[in-house]
Amino acid sequence: MLKLLSTISLLFIISFAIAQETVDMQMMQKIKDEEKNNSQIVMIAHNITDVCGPRLTNSPGYNCALDWVTEICTKWGLQNAGREAWGEFGKGWKNEQGTLSLKLPYYENIIAYPVPWCKSTKKAVKCELIMLDQLDSASIDKAGASLKGKIVMIKPGGTTIPDAFKAYAKRFGDSSLDNLPEEYMVTRKQMEGFLPFIKRDYYTRLYMEKKGAVGLVLSSRNSIDGTVFVDGGEGYMKGYEASLPTMKISREDYLKLMRLIQDNKKVELEMNVQNNFYDKDLTGYNVVAEIPGTDPALKSQVVMLGGHLDSWAGGTGATDNGAGCIATLEAIRILKALGIQPRRTIRIALWGGEEQGLYGSFGYVKKHFGDPENMNLKPEAANISAYYNLDNGSGKIRGIHTQGNEAVREIFRAWLEPFKDMGAAGGVTLSNTGSTDHISFDAVGIPGFQFIQDPLEYETRTHHSNMDTYDHLSIDDLKQAAVVIAAFVYNTAQRNDMLPRKPLPKAEKFVFDFDFPI
């Protein structure tokens, strides 16, 4: 009897829990059908990557993407589409010419990409290559006058390329999804620890130029098969000097140059780097668009979705983070195409300056919701239910990180259930994930979430590399992601209550908020 009673009460609890989080299964099917029959993923992806090109913040490619997103959102019938300033970013930069070749001991082309915001060379410069032990002022002083008129490389940490037997791409196994470890979280303390190294590198490069070096070549340990990882550069900020012409080159080329120098062969390179800086408008912009809410009592409340529109410059930012923009744009298009009349307002925001420190989303949060440094929240902060972000490449959605918000766990489980057949059910982890734009919202206590995505070849091949191009997008995965995001946004917009929140965080300066590099 007791046992039966407890079974009955358990059944009651389960049905109550499910009944509490009702999912409109008919609408979930309509979302799936709209994507299956009328997907615009390919068109969006092509325009954001192939047509606009690299989207370094405040570069012509970034502005192209801002304009295109505004235009397409307006065409789809979204409201209030357009740029929104978030504060001062700094200079734009665009590479116009970037070639490097070996001249001695024989001619060969080198796979090389200029580091953003570096200076141009004076036409093509042909000069000897020398190798320093470290990128520090002691090594520069040791080289003394021999640095003058030379291109410099730094002795690599290792002397091999990555193991070719290791697969590049992977998907998560189902069983790992509920217990993913914390990922990409950076604390302010860790950032304070990194800062001296970043500053040291910046000032060392300025010092190197002062001592007469005409160029610098570098390479990454994880680069293979012509993949070049190229990011960094601080010359975008007003008042900060650009570094000397700097190129990242393929690992295979770099190790060859090292061996030739170690064998006392004379190595000569020809470097031609020509860049344009854009300093007329230093303002940073995001782009936003909305489907206005229709419920008189709830339309002032908002659910947001997005990703960062800016990229690095070695590729066309297809997976970082064209993918997040493509999937969230498609998600809002689906909802608009279905003619839904959301109770709450649905707003997409695609951010700028993410790669330099989540500037666009943080600036937006500060302007609309409040500053984590003092936790003086603005009235709008009480009216935003959630922000959903996508920024881990083009892999399909396998679940979601709740950022430690226990109260949303069962809600999200119910919302993922209809997408079990598409690989999305199950993965609801309490663990945190960081280093992208939902962190700006989380910092002021607004529910901000990042989906769990299959890693594919994001970390190994495309992230910040010259291979971050359209052909490395998985179109089918993006279609799935757009469907799941559309469902989450729809459910958040229609729910009777806003999503439950964690307790407000303590006032603390934002993790990436530094007066860099001084």
Instruction: Report DSSP state, residue 386.
Output: E
The site for Zn ion, by CB under 5 A, has a size of: 3
Name which of 209 and 355 has its Cβ closer to Zn ion.
355
Name which of 34 and 330 has its Cβ closer to Zn ion.
330
- Smallest gap from residue 320 Cβ to Zn ion (A): 4
Name which of 391 and 513 has its Cβ closer to Zn ion.
391
d(CA 489, CA 486): 5
| Strands 283-291, 268-278: pairing kind | unpaired
CB atoms within 10 A of CB 18: 14
State CA 416 to chain mean position distance: 24
- Smallest gap from residue 349 Cβ to Zn ion (A): 15
Q: What are the angstrom distances between the C-alpha of 126 and each of 104, 105, 207, 269?
A: 10, 13, 21, 6
d(CA 87, CA 82): 16
Contact 308, 324 (CB under 8 A): yes
d(CA 287, CA 78): 13
Name which of 322 and 445 has its Cβ closer to Zn ion.
322
Contact 361, 354 (CB under 8 A): yes
If one asks whether residue 310 binds Zn ion (CB under 5 A), the answer comes out as no
Name which of 325 and 428 has its Cβ closer to Zn ion.
325
- 390 SS3 class: coil
- Smallest gap from residue 116 Cβ to Zn ion (A): 15
Q: What are the angstrom distances between the C-alpha of 405 and each of 141, 411, 417, 448?
A: 53, 11, 19, 10
If one asks whether residue 371 binds Zn ion (CB under 5 A), the answer comes out as no
- Smallest gap from residue 367 Cβ to Zn ion (A): 22
Name which of 35 and 320 has its Cβ closer to Zn ion.
320
Please name every residue paired with 370 in a beta bridge, in sequence order, or none if there are none: 377
If one asks whether residue 321 binds Zn ion (CB under 5 A), the answer comes out as yes
- Smallest gap from residue 359 Cβ to Zn ion (A): 13
- Smallest gap from residue 111 Cβ to Zn ion (A): 23
What is the contact mask toward Zn ion in residues 389 to 408, using x (rule: CB under 5 A)? --x-----------------
Stretch that binds Zn ion, among 201-209, 321-329, 427-435, 472-480 (CB under 5 A): 321-329
Stretch that binds Zn ion, among 134-142, 262-270, 386-394, 483-491 (CB under 5 A): 386-394
Residue with tokens 């910046």: 202
Name which of 223 and 453 has its Cβ closer to Zn ion.
453
- Identified binder of Zn ion from the candidate list 209, 231, 310, 320, rule CB under 5 A: 320
CA dihedral angle for residue 490, residue 491, residue 492, residue 494, rounded to 10 degrees: 80
Which residues of the shown chain bind Zn ion in the complex (CB under 5 A)? 320-321, 391
